[in-house]
Amino acid sequence: MPNTETIRVPLESWLKAAYDSLIESGIDAVKVLPLAKKLNISRTSFYWYFEDRDALLTALIGLWKNKNTENLVKQSRAYAESLSEAILNVFDCWLNTELFDSQLEFAMRSWALQSEEVSKEILSADALRIDALANMFGRFGFNPLEARTRARALYLTQIGYISMKMAEPTEYRMRYIPEYLKIFTGVEPERRELERFYSRHGFTLSDVDFSKDNA
């Protein structure tokens, strides 16, 4: 049996264990000794990387910022020939966990209910994300008020979806994409735009049931 006192696990292992505990059980479960037991090592190795638990929590906040906020902002700035295509670039975040981690987003917002510091981080992230989306709408000719209103509608719709912990099959979500685009842009999306988006997520238009009678 290995001597836990001599094992040095990578920094990433501590972060992954902390992430898993946050997702599964909330912030109160992110503590050094339980994490060490989960990794089957001595907690001594924790202090090779982190001064204390607060330093680990700061690293978790950084992980969330880098994953969710930076990627959403990046997607909002991605090249697009039309507003529909720009919005579909953002929609990639909602369907690709490599771009945006909805479970982490939910866990962070739950943590914010217990922490004024994290609550401020959430407010800051919300502002950055909405600003980025408003700028995206602005690039396609909307005045500042129109752009921000549409940005808020798009963003808050998804945050509400996450907060409600909706668990719908991806195929079911896909059937609403064209209607969301019409609501957010005011125009009918082009078929080629939809085809490219669906293809990115492993679907074709023919895979999705768009019938109105089983909503």
User: Residue 200: which domain range?
Assistant: 64-214
pLDDT recorded at residue 100: 98
Same domain, 88 and 9: no
The span from the CA of 138 to the CA of 141, in Å, is 5
The tens digit of pLDDT for each residue in 51-84 reads 999 999 999 999 999 999 999 999 999 999 999 9
What is the DSSP secondary structure assignment for residue 206, as one 8-state letter? G
Whole-structure pTM value? 0.91
Counting the structural domains of the chain, the total is 2
The span from the CA of 6 to the CA of 44, in Å, is 10
Same domain, 36 and 77: no
The span from the CA of 137 to the CA of 147, in Å, is 5
Answer yes or no: is pLDDT of 181 > 90: yes
pLDDT recorded at residue 36: 95
The tens digit of pLDDT for each residue in 130-148 reads 999 999 999 999 999 999 9
- Domain contains 152: yes
pLDDT recorded at residue 140: 98
The tens digit of pLDDT for each residue in 87-146 reads 999 999 999 999 999 999 999 999 999 999 999 999 999 999 999 999 999 999 999 999
Token output for 50: 């982190």
